[in-house]
Structure 1
Amino acid sequence: MPNKNTHYKVKNLHGTSKDRYSKKKCECDNWLAHWRNNTKSQRTTCAVLECARKATVGAHVICVDGRMSNEWYIVPFCKYHNHYEKKDEYFLDSRVHLIPVYKLDGCKRG
């Protein structure tokens, strides 16, 4: 059974597709690319534990298990779990790394 000691628990942030949030400071093509460039992962499935759907977006999330600050992170999500009506909290696959939204060393150079 997953718990906060073995898996991150996150909540999707809503309304982050608006322009003021989409203008990140790095040159990655999109948020999913930002996550992949900084993890070097070729993961193709959603990060939500036991979801086998294709990851199509880099979702903005916050960690709600008390282990981290309220910083925003990017993780790969399917469209189902990234939907604006979803207000659930999710455990992530334990192999998934949370990547901060700001520019990092792995970001594509412009």
Structure 2
Amino acid sequence: MPIVENIPDTTGKKCECGSWLNHWKNEAGQDAEYCAVVGCNETNHLVGAHVYKIEPYSPYHFIIPLCKKHNNIPPGERFEVKNVFFAWANVFETCGAYFDEDD
């Protein structure tokens, strides 16, 4: 199972999808049914959380569905998540790439 940690200071980050949870849904092609943290079955109050992949390592920022409790785990604290789709958080290559500035 992947090991991740939350990315600090993402409150002001925006995307074309309206929310980061919508961004995850659009990229994953599915609804977020539950928090991705192993052992958590929370189905309410989900958000699209910005995370780093620690194991397996990736230098990119990703979005996964987390409940608000697990989205508030302090950066630097690692936690295990289920085998969930990791949506790339780079809006210039994902949702932002779909829109022309003239739209």
TM-score normalised per structure 2: 0.79
1:28-43 matched pairs, under 5 angstroms: 28-43=17-32
> 1:56 aligned to 2:51?
no
Aligned residue pair count: 96
Which residue of 1 is the match for residue 90 of structure 2? 102
- In structure 2, give the amino acid aligned to 1:72: H
Query: Separation in 2 of the partners of 1:92 and 1:69?
Result: 15
Which residue of 2 is the match for residue 3 of structure 1? none
- 1:28-66 CA-to-partner distances (Å, cap 9, x unmatched) read 01000000011112122101112111352100000111x
Contact 1:15 1:84 in 2 (8 A): no
Name structure 2 gaps, 5 residues minimum.
none
> 1:10 aligned to 2:7?
no
- CA change 1:48–1:84 in 2 (3 A) is closer
Considering only aligned residues, what root-mean-square deviation do their CA atoms show, in Å? 2.3
- CA change 1:23–1:64 in 2 (3 A) is same
Question: Which is strand-richer, 1 or 2?
Answer: 2
Query: Separation in 2 of the partners of 1:78 and 1:108?
Result: 28
TM-score normalised per structure 1: 0.74
Name structure 1 gaps, 5 residues minimum.
1-6
Identity score, percent: 29
- CA change 1:48–1:108 in 2 (3 A) is farther
Alignment partner for residue 74 of structure 1, among 63, 68, 82? 63
Query: Separation in 2 of the partners of 1:108 and 1:84?
Result: 32
